[in-house]
Amino acid sequence: MVHIRSVFQTLLVAGALLLTSFTFTNPKDEQAIAQAVERLRKAMIDPDKATLEAITARELSYGHSNGLIENQDAFVKALLNGSSDFVTIELSDQTMTIVDKTAWVRHKLTAETKNNGTPGQTKLGVLLVFVKQKNDWKLLARQAVKI
């Protein structure tokens, strides 16, 4: 009887330790990241240099579905000069994972574009990577693939 009791206690302790080893997501971080994604979506439709720079990390790596990779300066410049022009952006099937001060967001993006004045449509699968810098979530990396 004593043996079964000690095994049961050991299992309880092991279970408790296992539960405490998981990282629990802070709902405030989830909300802040969702807001950052929405701010980015709006800023890509109606680009503003200050907003784009505020939502992205200086070290940004922005990957397009055609293989082009831009840093923060090139990303902002392309939106401001119209070489990358989003008329509409709709996001769907969004998921989010947060580990410490890093988060990644996956979603599908459907958009009407007018890159360099040429109308078009695009459907992409997108991975966004955010990093928490000074209590603010910044876009560190983005990669898109054509659907």
- Per residue in 80-129, pLDDT tens? 999 999 999 999 999 999 999 999 999 999 999 999 999 999 999 999 99
pLDDT tens across 20-41, in order? 334 456 789 999 999 999 999 9
What confidence score (pLDDT) does residue 110 get? 98
What confidence score (pLDDT) does residue 121 get? 97
What confidence score (pLDDT) does residue 142 get? 98
Rounded Cα distance between 39 and 27, Å, is 18
pTM of structure: 0.81
What confidence score (pLDDT) does residue 26 get? 78
- Per-residue pLDDT, averaged over 131-143, amounts to 96
What confidence score (pLDDT) does residue 27 get? 84
What confidence score (pLDDT) does residue 10 get? 46
| Beta strands at 56-63 and 69-70: parallel, antiparallel or unpaired | antiparallel
What confidence score (pLDDT) does residue 4 get? 55
Please give the residue that has the higher pLDDT: either 103 or 10. 103
What confidence score (pLDDT) does residue 61 get? 98
- Give the strands of the sheet with 69-70, arranged side by side: 69-70, 56-63, 136-146, 118-133, 102-115, 86-99
pLDDT at residue 147 greater than cutoff 60: yes
All domains of the chain in start order, with CATH: 25-146 (3.10.450.50)
Half-sphere exposure of 43 (CA within 13 A, CB side): 20
Torsion angles phi and psi, residue 84, rounded to 5: -125, 105
